[in-house]
Amino acid sequence: MNKPYSRLDRDNAAVLLVDHQAGLLSLVRDFNPDQFKNNVLALADLAAYFKLPTILTTSFEDGPNGPLVPELKEKFPKAPFIPRPGQINAWDNEDFVKAVKATGRKQLILAGVVTEVCVAFPALSAIAEGFEVFVVTDASGTFNEITRDASWSRMTQAGAQLMTWFGVACELHRDWRRDVEGLAALFSNHIPDYRNLITSYSLMKGTNPLPKAVP
């Protein structure tokens, strides 16, 4: 049964970054390492750009999973950070769920490592509690395409929507007239071909190229 189109709303969305940890990132094989980290940081940048409530969590940091990717803590120094002592499913951690519900948002933009566990488990749990879940597929990684595809199937059957960070950004923005330079700078910082596009456009218009850093 087809569901009606439910669009992301910047006033109703929150971002959950689950277990992007140094040790776990070494398990990701469905993306190359540089590409994957770029996608994760792109999602973080769009969360900051749209001023979305963002929650960070890790699993068993003192063990082999390792610490959170430092760029994420630097990007969100005031965001709730929940280091889970042992729970595999972030939704089993009371502090994490409280932080999610405290945002007052019903749309959850979710990414993590690894996809079939750290993403799928909280996604399914949140859906069961009435949240809309949007899984950012290219900022979530796992061992191989088989395990990834199986987890995507499981989540979509439960009602999760699969998106990319670029699609999330465009759906949140909705209209270029809101801001051209800010969003174009975000895209250019993470997509080399997009920077080429903007550089070409800037030369044609006789304007300065976009800065390399997103405010």
* Enzyme catalytic residues: 118
Radius of gyration, alpha carbons of the chain: 17
Q: What is the distance, to the nearest Å, from the Cα of residue 188 to the centroid of all Cα atoms in its chain?
A: 18
Cα→Cα distances 130→106, 126, 168, Å: 8, 7, 20
Q: Which residue has the tokens 């082999």?
A: 64
Extract the runs of DSSP E, i.e. beta strands, from 23-66: 54-59
- Cβ burial, residue 193 (10 Å; 0-12/13-18/19+): exposed
Q: Please, which residues have CB within 8 angstroms of residue 105's CB and are 6 or more apart in sequence?
A: 12, 13, 14, 53
Cα→Cα distances 93→64, 71, 100, 108, 113, Å: 20, 24, 11, 17, 17
Neighbours of 163 (CB within 10 A): 20
